[in-house]
Amino acid sequence: MNQTNRQFENARILLGISGGIAAYKAADLAGKLTAAGAQVKTIMTDSACRLVTPVCVQALTHRPVYTSMWTGPEDFRIGHIELADWADAMVVAPATANIIAKTAAGVCDDLLSTTLCVCWNKPVLLAPAMNSRMWANPIVQANLVRLQEQLKFRIVGPETGRLACGTEGIGRMAEPAAIIEEIRHML
């Protein structure tokens, strides 16, 4: 981990957590990035907050967690612009079919989707996580291709394994170590 510590020292990572059950892995990712020397600011969707609390992520990153376009720390002005300007790179883990679709279509209806719209010219990494039938949906696949080709977003995963519904298949979010390795390549 020492080599990783040097590589992430002072890197500013904006972590988006959307509402998939893999949000618990995102909390682990946030802690590992912070331990590796990165400054991590986190945006959580309403659905993500139902799975992992912002307090948990804040404790792991030692920074406030942003959950709304309408509230935030006192210095939080035009949040989605300031967060995008601050970041060296943005990571969305888990990236649900919902946030992938909203981003591909340019829908900006919450802090995470709005910030992703602003970050189109920065390194962005998506770590998809969803049921294997959702993953196989041609619209989801077309949205991912669009994001990769038009915006140069990077994708890591998903992996094959046990899914939240109890079946086996592709759709598990990549492990934090694999996501960290992709971030290292991006930076």
Residues annotated as catalytic are 165
Rounded-to-integer distance, Cα 151 and Cα 134, Å: 22
Q: Please name which of 39, 41, 38, 44 lies closest in space to residue 19, comparing C-alpha atoms.
A: 44
Residue 37: how many other CB atoms lie within 10 Å: 15
Report residue 99 as tokens. Answer: 């946030």
> How far apart are the C-alpha atoms of 185 and 187, rounded to whole Å?
6
* Sequence-distant (≥ 6) Cβ neighbours of residue 172 within 8 angstroms: 22, 129, 157, 158, 159, 160, 161, 162, 163
